[in-house]
């Protein structure tokens, strides 16, 4: 789970973060969600869609993902199966101006 510039968090840290106001984006593919399960309160945006999704209008984002679009100032955590894609997702988000 990656949440800040080159920072990964443990499961225990993640549980504590979930108690605060964070946006959790799971960048696994939809078939992985179907096979391994959805993490409660997460938004599933496959990594291949992430850069485009983070540039959508808020209305289009909400229509596509059934969630409110994160603001650039929101605290975000990205997750995947092994950590590689979540680090890539973090890089995409930061390049688009998300803090």
> What's the CATH code of the domain at 48?
3.40.250.10
Please count the structural domains in the chain. 1
**pLDDT tens series, the chain, 99 aa:** 555 555 677 778 888 888 888 899 999 999 999 999 998 889 999 999 999 999 999 999 999 999 999 999 998 989 998 888 998 999 999 999 997
Can you tell me the distance from the alpha carbon of 99 to that of 92, in angstroms, rounded to the nearest whole number? 11
Residues classed as catalytic: 80
Q: Cβ atoms within 10 A of the Cβ of 89, count?
A: 25
Q: What is the pTM of this model?
A: 0.86
| Helix, strand, coil shares, percent, the chain, to 5 | 40, 20, 40
What residues make up the domain containing 81? 2-96
């Amino acid at each position: 789970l990656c949440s800040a510039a080159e920072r990964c968090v443990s499961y225990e840290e993640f549980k504590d973060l979930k108690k605060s106001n964070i946006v959790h984006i799971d960048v696994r593919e939809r078939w992985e969600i179907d096979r391994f399960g959805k993490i409660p309160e997460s938004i599933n945006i496959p990594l291949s869609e992430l850069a485009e999704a983070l540039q959508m209008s808020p209305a289009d984002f909400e229509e596509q993902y059934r969630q409110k679009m994160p603001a650039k100032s929101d605290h975000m955590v990205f997750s995947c199966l092994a950590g590689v894609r979540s680090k890539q997702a973090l890089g995409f988000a930061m390049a688009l101006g998300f803090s």
